[in-house]
Amino acid sequence: MTQTSVDIDSLQSDDQGVLDVPVSFNDDAEPVAGFKIVGKNSAQCQAVDREIEILAIKRAVIKKQKIDGKTDEGAGQLVDLHKENQTKRAIAVVVSIYGFKSGTTELTATPEVLKDIFSKRPTWLAKITAALEADEGFLPVSSTTS
């Protein structure tokens, strides 16, 4: 029987674990386009989460920027803010992309390119968000046989 465990000695380097998030496949079900991302424990994600939290605290204490979530307008603002934060986080964790072109030019993972992709395909943003929440994909695992 094979047992799996988490090697706690390798957790310090967890932020360098990269996960593939494919979004387009060929006829053989092989990925042809997608994103390479680092996890929520990465320095990139921790930095953007801190930035988002700081902005939220500043917004909460400035009376002019408070959002009334009980109104349709306020609820809409909160939805837009949530989407903006998801996009910021996704842009921060994408370390590379593959299979994306503009005409004949291969695209690279710049904030502008990623914003454009996510605005055209919001479901791909959702795939990255879901992959981030599935922390197991970023954990270093060691196997032992007994």
What is 59-113 written as a DSSP string?
Answer: HHH-GGG---TTSHHHHHHHHHHHHHHHHHHHHHHEEEEES-EETTEEP---HHH
What is the C-alpha separation between 136 and 108, in angstroms, rounded? Answer: 27
Distance between CA atoms of residues 145 and 60, nearest Å:
53
Asked if 125 contacts 90 with a C-beta cutoff of 8 angstroms, the reply is yes
Residue 139 · residue 41 · CB < 8 Å: no
- pLDDT above 80 (res 12): no
- 100 vs 143, higher pLDDT: 100
User: Which pLDDT does position 146 carry in this prediction?
Assistant: 47
| 96, pLDDT greater than 90 | yes
pLDDT computed for residue 41 by the predictor: 86
pLDDT single digits (tens) 49-88 = 999 999 988 888 886 767 778 888 888 888 888 899 999 9
Residue 90 pLDDT more than 80?
yes
